[in-house]
Homo-oligomer: A and B are copies of this chain.
Amino acid sequence: MPHFAQRMKTMEKSAQIIRNLFGAMNDPNLISFGGGAPAREALPIDIVREIVNDVMRVDKRGVEGLQYGSVKGLPDLREVVVSELLAPKGIEAKADNILITSGGLEGINLLCQLFIDPGDVILVESPTFVHCVEIFEMFQAKCISVAMDDDGMVAEDLEEKIRKHNPKMVYVIPTFHNPTGRTLSLERRKRIAELGSEYDVLILEDDPYRDIRYSGSELKPIKAFDRTGHTVLANSFSKIFSPGSRLGYVLADDAVSSKLCDAKSATNSHTSMLPQVICAEFFKRGYYPAHHRMICDLYRERRDTMIDCIDRFFPEGTKRTFPDGGLFTWAELPGGIDTTELLVESTGNPAVKVAFVAGEGFFIEGGGMGRNCMRLSFGAVSPEKIRIGAERLGNLIRSRLK
C-alpha cells in the first residue's frame, strides 16, 4: 500500500493515548470517573422531541433542517451565540464573525488548518487536553509546555517561552481547565491577551466549560481583553446542550473568520442542520435559563460529593483541586503511586471496578510527569455512585501505601 502521510506518524503517540483513554470507559459494570461526558440527566431529550415535532410541521423549517445550509452555520444559531452566550460575558460580537463548527474540537482543527505549518511551535499548558495535542501533532506542530499553578497558566513563564521559542499559537483552556479543573485569574487573562498582541502570537482560547459555573464569580474571557484580533475563541454546546449534537462555534476577527469558512468548506461543507435548528430553537424558546440552573445544581452536588469523598477516603498527603464549575477534579497522590498501574488494578479488581484517567497522558513533557496524578470526572456519575466509587478507590490507594 502507498505509505501514510508524515502527519499520521507525528500523531501516532497521542492517537494511541486517546484510543486507550476511551477504550476502557464503556464497561457498564464500572463506576467511571473516566470520560468527560455530561450527565444523562443533563440531556434535554423531551425538549428536543417537542422542538422537532413543532419545527418539522412547518414546511420551511423542515426544509431548513434537512437541506444544504450555509458554510458559516444557521443564522439563527449564530445570533443566539452573540446575544445569549457572548454578550452576557462582556463580548460584543457580530453574528458574521461566528462560525458554527461540528463540535468545539473542530474549531481547534480549523484554526490549525489556517495557521499551522509543519514545525510551527504551539505553547500549551502543563498538563493539557490530550485530544488537542493529537490535533496539533496531526498538523506536525511542535508542542512546548508552559507552567501552571492554581491560577492557571503562568504568564511570566508564557512570556519567557514566547521569547525563546517564537511560537505561532498559544493554546489555553482558561476556565475549569481540562484536566485540572483550575481557572485562569483575571489578571492573567488580561496579560495573555496583551502578550498575543505584543508578540504577534495567536491565542487560542478553548472555553467549553465556562458556561457551567456553579460557584465563585464569573471572569471575562481572554477574548474580551483582545484589542488586535490575536485571540480566537472556540467554544462548544456539548456541556450546556448536548455533546452528541456536535455543535460548537468559533469567534474570530474578520480576516481569520473568512479564512475559517474556506477551511470549513473544505472539511465538511457545513455543520449538520437539524441539530443547529433544534439548538437555536432551544435558546429562542427560552428553555436555556431553567435548564442551565438545573444542570448547575446537578453538577454542584456531584462536585461537593466528590471533594468530600476525596477528603474522607483518599490518604493523607493527597492534593486535589476545587473546581468552581466543569465536570472534573484533579488529584495528586502521595507515596510515589503510579496511576497508570493503579488504573489496571482499579478497573480489573472485581472488588473495586472504578475507572479514572491516569495523569501521565496529559503531560507532553514525558519523563514521568503526572505519573502520580489522576483526573476524576464526577459529571456523569450519581452522588451515590461517587461515594461508593471514591471510597473503593481511596481504599485501594491506601492499601498500596502500606
**Interface residues in chain A, defined as those with a beta carbon under 8 Å from any beta carbon in chain B:** 1-2, 4-8, 11, 15, 18-19, 35, 37-38, 40, 43-46, 48-49, 52-53, 56-57, 59, 62-69, 101-103, 105-106, 109, 113-117, 120, 131, 134-135, 138, 168-169, 200-202, 228-230, 238, 242-247, 255-256, 259, 262-263, 265-275, 278
In the bound complex, do residue A267 and residue B109 qualify as a contact, i.e. CB atoms below 8 Å apart? yes
Pick the contact of A262: B8, B45, B56 (CB < 8 A).
B8
Residue in B closest to A3 when the chains form the complex, CB atoms: B115
Contacts of A269 in B (CB 8 A): 103, 105, 131, 246
Q: Which residue of B lies closest to A45 (CB)?
A: B62
A140 to chain B, nearest CB (A): 10
A3 to B243, CA, bound (A): 33
CB distance from A210 to the nearest CB of B (A): 19
Q: How far, in Å, is A283 (CB) from chain B's closest CB?
A: 16
Q: How far is A246 from B65 in the complex, measured between Cα atoms in Å?
A: 11
Flag if A262 contacts B62 (CB, 8 Å).
no
Other-chain residue from B56, B114, B229 in contact with A46 (beta carbon distance below 8 A): B56
Please name the residue on chain B nearest to A35 by beta carbon: B68
**Listed A/B pairs (27) with beta-carbon separation below 8 Å:** A1-B202, A2-B169, A5-B114, A5-B120, A8-B259, A40-B67, A45-B63, A48-B52, A49-B52, A49-B53, A52-B52, A52-B53, A66-B244, A69-B244, A101-B268, A102-B246, A102-B268, A105-B267, A105-B268, A113-B138, A244-B272, A244-B273, A246-B269, A268-B268, A271-B272, A272-B275, A275-B275
The 6 A-B pairs of least Cβ separation, nearest first, read A244-B273, A45-B62, A49-B56, A66-B242, A106-B268, A272-B272
On whether A230 and B105 interact (CB within 8 A), knowing A56-B46, A138-B266, A246-B269, the answer reads no
Most B CB atoms within 10 A — which of A35, A230, A270? A270
Contact (Cβ within 8 A) A44 B56:
no
On whether the beta carbons of A245 and B102 are closer than 8 Å, the reply is no
A38 nearest in chain B by CB position: B67
Q: Is the CB of B63 within 8 A of A43?
A: yes
Residues of B within 8 A of A272 (CB): 102, 244-247, 271-272, 275
Asked if A245 meets B66 with Cβ closer than 8 Å, knowing A4-B114, A45-B59, A117-B5, the reply is yes
Q: Considering the chains assembled together, what is the distance between the CA atoms of A131 and B68 in angstroms? A: 15
Determine if A37 and B168 form an interchain contact, defined as CB atoms under 8 angstroms apart: no
A255 cross-chain contacts in B, Cβ below 8 A:
1
A262 to chain B, nearest CB (A): 4
Chain B residue at minimum C-beta to C-beta distance from A267: B109
B8 touches A68 (CB 8 A): no
Select from chain B the residue with minimum beta-carbon distance to A39.
B67
For the complex, what is the distance from the CA of A228 to the CA of B134, rounded to whole Å? 30
> Using Cβ atoms and an 8 Å threshold, which residues of chain B touch A169?
2
Whether A18 contacts B246 in the complex (CB less than 8 A), given A57-B49, A117-B6, A138-B113, comes out as no
Question: Nearest Cβ in chain B — how far from A108, in angstroms?
Answer: 9
**CB within 8 A of A67: which of B37, B57, B120?**
B37
A402 to B162 alpha-carbon distance, docked (Å): 67
Q: In the assembly, what is the distance between CA of A63 and CA of B38, in Å?
A: 11
* Docked-complex contact A106 and B267, CB < 8 angstroms: yes
Q: Report whether A243 and B45 are in contact in the complex, using a CB–CB cutoff of 8 Å.
A: no
Closest to A26 in B: B70
Is A44 a contact of B15 with CB atoms below 8 Å? no
